[in-house]
Amino acid sequence: MTFKRSPNWKKPAFKKKNTQKPRPAPKDRKVIIFNKPFDVLSQFTDDQHRQTLADFISVKDVYAAGRLDRDSEGLLILTNDGVLQARLTQPESKSPKTYWVQVEGAPTEDDLDKLRQGVELKDGMTLPAKVEIIPEPNVWERNPPVRFRAAIPTTWISITIIEGRNRQVRRMTANIGFPTLRLIRYSMGEWTIKDVAHGTWKEVSL
């Protein structure tokens, strides 16, 4: 026996389950600014017993908005607000991130213009970056110190991007022939590490 569907039959609609956590109320929102040291993971646990955020931050239920590589230093923002996390990390939001970068060698303006226009990496062209040579910033000593080659000078540059690809800044400077020796994230969006000592954190409000 066969059955014919009614001409008015419609396939039932199934709603996708919303897995995003509700945004916390303003009074419950937490935003932490942390000045991450070198060789610290941007996570709270590690099965290899390396240094993590838990060695520095006691606040519960906050998560990093984007990552900062273990061998990079500076600003890391942690929050329990998923909307804020997305705004800081998704390229569509165009939230700028500024890095202070010590490179090996002495790039010229022509070299830096390549970064300003965008360079071709393995995962595609980068968006244009804001780049300028800066004086050596007055920052903490890195432990362990950066290894220099005595016969080759180093230069500090400021790079501002709105993307967040894996190790993007390091790959950009290597692409134009100037390897990154030290990388410090100075700002994300409206926040900076200006008043946050190395290895410390503070809570801020929106």
Catalytically active residues are: 69
Instruction: Give the integer Cα–Cα distance in Å for 126 and 85.
Output: 22
Angstrom CA distances, 198 to 3, 55, 184, stand at 73, 14, 11
DSSP letter (8 states) at residue 84: H
Q: How far is Cα of residue 120 from the mean position of the Cα atoms in its chain?
A: 20
Q: Please say whether the beta carbons of 52 and 68 come within 8 A.
A: no
- Helix or strand or coil: residue 197? coil
Whether 119 and 172 have beta carbons less than 8 Å apart is answered as yes
Q: What letter would DSSP give residue 113?
A: H
> Nearest 5°: phi and psi at 57?
-120, 130
Q: Tell me, what DSSP letter sits at residue 164?
A: -
- Those residues with Cβ within 8 angstroms of residue 56's Cβ, 6 or more apart along the chain or in another chain: 34, 40, 199, 200, 201
Nearest Cα to Cα of residue 82 among 155, 16, 22: 22
